[in-house]
Amino acid sequence: MNGHRGSATRHWRNQRMTSIALLPLGLWFLFALLLQPALDHATVAAWLAKPLQALLAALFGGAMLWHSMQGVEVVLEDYVRGRTLTLSILLSRLAHTAAAVALSWAIFTIAAGGA
């Protein structure tokens, strides 16, 4: 288990926390997206420029990427061994961090009305 800094119990508990958070957040995002009157730029930018919607989108995106990172690590730990495990977990963390940075930039830009 050389993937985790800190205890495996904490990793397990955090993964349950993000799961529970994603139940309402995931439903919110899916239904908000599916119920948009149209999916052109003006409509979706106006939707995500509303402060509460931007906050929810940031919470959903953050929880989703964190949960994704936790899940990928658990799967990697089961099927990959040794240095490959360390390397693949590092790559997964880099990719998830890059995605989170891009996500924050996008949501800030949309919410600030710059889109």
Partner 1 sequence: MRGIWPWEAPTPFWQNGLAMQSPAERPLSPHLQVYRPMYTMVLSILHRASGLYLSACSLLFVAWLAAIAAGPAAYSGASRFFSSLAVRLVLTAALAAFWYHFFAGIRHLAWDAGLGFEKTSSRRSAAVVLVCAAAAFAATMCLSRAGRWLMGAP
Cβ distance to partner 1 smaller for residue 90 or 102: 102
- Which residues form the interface with partner 1 (CB under 8 A)? 16, 19-20, 22-23, 26-27, 30, 33-42, 44-45, 48, 57, 61, 64-65, 68, 71-72, 75, 99, 102-103, 105-107, 109-110, 114-115
Q: Which run of H or E residues covers position 78?
A: helix 51-79
Q: How far is the CB of 104 from partner 1 (least distance, A)?
A: 10
